Amino acid sequence: MAGTDVLPRIGLGTFRLKGQDVIDSVTSALELGYRHIDTAQMYENEEAVGQAIKQSGVPREEIFLTTKVWWDRYRHDDLIASLEESCRKLGVDQVDLALLHWPSPDDEVPMAEYIGALGEAREKGLAKRIGISNFTIAQVNEALSLPGGEHLVTNQIEVHPFLANRKLVEHCQAKGLQVTGYMPLAVGKVMDEPVLTQIAADHDATAAQVALAWVAQRDIVVIPSSTRPEHQKANLEALKITLSEDEMARIDKLDVGERIANPDFAPDWDA
Q: pLDDT tens for residues 74-121?
A: 999 999 999 999 999 999 999 999 999 999 999 999 999 999 999 999
pLDDT digits (tens, 9 = 90+) for 61-80: 999 999 999 999 999 999 99
Confidence of residue 142 (pLDDT cuts 50, 70, 90): very high
pLDDT digits (tens, 9 = 90+) for 5-52: 589 999 999 999 999 999 999 999 999 999 999 999 999 999 999 999
Q: Which CATH number does 12-180 carry?
A: 3.20.20.100
pLDDT digits (tens, 9 = 90+) for 175-210: 999 999 999 999 999 999 999 999 999 999 999 999
The model carries a pTM of: 0.97
Residues 43, 74, 114, 182: which is the catalytic one? 43
114 is catalytic: no
Mean pLDDT of 252-257: 98
SS (H, E, C) the chain: CCCCCCCCCECEECCCCCHHHHHHHHHHHHHHCCCEEECCHHHCCHHHHHHHHHHHCCCHHHCEEEEEECHHHCCHHHHHHHHHHHHHHHCCCCEEEEEECCCCHHHCCCHHHHHHHHHHHHHCCCEEEEEEECCCHHHHHHHHHCCCHHHEEEEEEECECCECCHHHHHHHHHCCCEEEEECCCHHHHHHHCHHHHHHHHHCCCCHHHHHHHHHHCCCEEECCECCCHHHHHHHHHHHHCCCCHHHHHHHHCCCCCCCCCCCCCCCCCCC
| pLDDT at position 3 | 44
- 101 assigned binding-site residue: yes
Mean pLDDT of 214-242: 98
| pLDDT at position 5 | 58
| pLDDT at position 271 | 77
